């Protein structure tokens, strides 16, 4: 199913720049603003809220001016983050669906590792790489692949996360039973705004069928809030054994892709563990970072567009990719600062040292 929307492209773009990102809490749009929300809003100079429906609703004239001044062609941006110690949340279009691209590999890895915990398969078992065979877009329901070298499941998993290896991902996806098995794992975890539809070979071959700026294609999509819940459940040990959790988090800490995204703006002390995703007109980064006082923050950032249109994207691919990367980097830094200040304020109040 694909959904057309009216105002959200404009509103998403309005909320996205560092000077105009709003915060939508877990409570309804018109609920009272929390202290943490207010401090986050103050950082960005706005109290804009992103509604859950398809019509933009503004609480103040300043919100409307921000939305009207924003260039709607720049694209939708979704952000979700949660402090795993306090439960404080940040959400900008957090319930809206975005293309997962390779961030879905975290869910695939978790599904496989849960099976390892249940004794269904082993990390030492060897499986072949599933390498795409050239085929025309949309020519088959599933893109053809051929068998490559056999490597252990643990090597597949580490490479699919740290290097974003597509052939490794499809190998483990086949082992677990395909996209439907991953969807079932997510539903059992209580995560519903998530849908894996295709293997990676098919997803990549048929990439570009729809522009994610103007069309919400629910295939192979998830909401930022759903991905943050997945990260939180993995990190806090609700889905995997301690051994499997350690394997996945170590692989995410070893990620080498997306060097201009979250990793470029967070200090090394944040100990970022993350997974990136990239497709036509979309870029993403999800993961766990730590504040200076050691609190773990789960975060998911999904960015679409940032170029004028598909023609502009084609003519300036490198520049468009960098603009999306820069937006992710800026948002990640501001979220890091917001949560870090929250921890500092809490510590000061605890010890009576003032604000």
Q: What is the CATH number of the domain that holds 109?
A: 3.40.710.10
User: Which pTM does this prediction carry?
Assistant: 0.78
Chain-wide mean pLDDT for the chain? 79
The three-point CA angle 253-255-261 to 5° equals: 105
Measure the CA–CA gap between 167 and 208, rounded to whole angstroms: 20
* DSSP states of 5-52: -SSHHHHHHHHSSGGG-----SS-TTSPPPHHHHHHHHHHT------S
Predicted local confidence at residue 118, as pLDDT: 97
In a domain, 168, yes or no: yes
pLDDT at 193 over 90: yes
Q: Express as a percent the part of the chain with pLDDT over 90.
A: 58
Q: Are 114 and 239 in contact (CB under 8 A)?
A: yes
pLDDT at 340 over 70: yes
- What is the tens place of the pLDDT at every residue in 135-159? 999 999 999 999 999 999 999 999 9
Predicted local confidence at residue 310, as pLDDT: 67
CA neighbor of 346 nearest in space, from 90, 91, 89, 88: 88
Which range, 38-52, 98-112, 208-222, 331-345, is most confident? 98-112
The count of structural domains within the chain is 1
In a domain, 59, yes or no: yes
* Least confident interval from 74-88, 202-216, 296-310, 331-345: 331-345
* Least confident interval from 69-73, 236-240, 340-344: 69-73
pLDDT at 42 over 80: no
What pairing do the DSSP bridges indicate for beta strands 194-195 and 215-217? unpaired
* Least confident interval from 13-17, 155-159, 191-195, 257-261: 13-17
In a domain, 355, yes or no: no
Measure the CA–CA gap between 73 and 214, rounded to whole angstroms: 9
Predicted local confidence at residue 264, as pLDDT: 94
pLDDT at 175 over 90: yes
Q: Which domain holds residue 174?
A: 2-350
In a domain, 295, yes or no: yes
pLDDT at 271 over 60: yes
pLDDT at 242 over 50: yes
* Least confident interval from 126-130, 137-141, 209-213, 246-250: 209-213
In a domain, 277, yes or no: yes
Q: Which residues pair with 239 in a beta bridge?
A: none
At residue 85 the predicted structure's pLDDT band, cuts being 50, 70 and 90, is: very high
pLDDT at 38 over 70: no
Predicted local confidence at residue 314, as pLDDT: 67
In a domain, 79, yes or no: yes
pLDDT at 292 over 80: yes
């Amino acid at each position: 199913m694909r959904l057309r929307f009216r105002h959200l492209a404009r509103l998403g773009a309005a909320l996205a720049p560092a000077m105009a990102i709003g915060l939508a809490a877990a409570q309804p749009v018109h609920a009272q603003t929390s202290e943490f929300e207010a401090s986050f809003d103050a950082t960005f100079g706005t109290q804009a809220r992103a509604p859950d429906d398809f019509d933009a609703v503004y609480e103040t004239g300043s919100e409307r001016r921000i939305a009207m001044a924003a260039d709607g062609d720049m694209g939708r941006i979704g952000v979700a983050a949660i402090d795993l110690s306090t439960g404080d949340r940040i959400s900008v279009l957090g319930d809206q669906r975005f293309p997962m691209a390779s961030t879905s590999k975290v869910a695939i890895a978790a599904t496989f590792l849960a099976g390892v915990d249940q004794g269904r398969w082993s990390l030492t078992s060897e499986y072949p790489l599933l390498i795409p065979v050239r085929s025309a877009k949309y020519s088959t329901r599933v893109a053809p692949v051929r068998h490559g070298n056999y490597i252990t499941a643990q090597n597949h998993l580490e490479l699919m996360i740290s290097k974003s290896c597509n052939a490794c991902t499809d190998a483990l996806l086949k082992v677990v039973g395909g996209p439907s098995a991953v969807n079932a794992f997510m539903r059992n975890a209580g995560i519903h705004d998530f849908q894996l539809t295709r293997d990676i070979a098919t997803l990549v071959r048929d990439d570009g069928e729809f522009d994610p700026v103007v069309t919400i294609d629910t295939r192979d999509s998830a909401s930022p809030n759903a991905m943050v819940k997945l990260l939180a459940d993995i990190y806090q040990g609700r889905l995997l054994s301690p051994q499997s959790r350690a394997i996945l988090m170590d692989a995410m800490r070893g990620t080498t892709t997306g060097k201009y995204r979250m990793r470029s703006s967070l200090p090394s002390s944040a100990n970022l563990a993350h997974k990136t995703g990239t497709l036509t007109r979309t870029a993403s980064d999800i993961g766990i970072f730590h504040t200076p006082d050691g609190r773990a923050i789960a975060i998911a950032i999904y960015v679409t567009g940032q170029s004028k249109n598909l023609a502009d994207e084609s003519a300036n691919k490198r520049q468009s990719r960098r603009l999306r990367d820069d937006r992710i980097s800026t948002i990640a830094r501001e979220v890091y600062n917001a949560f870090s200040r929250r921890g500092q304020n809490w510590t000061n109040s605890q010890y009576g040292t003032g604000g």
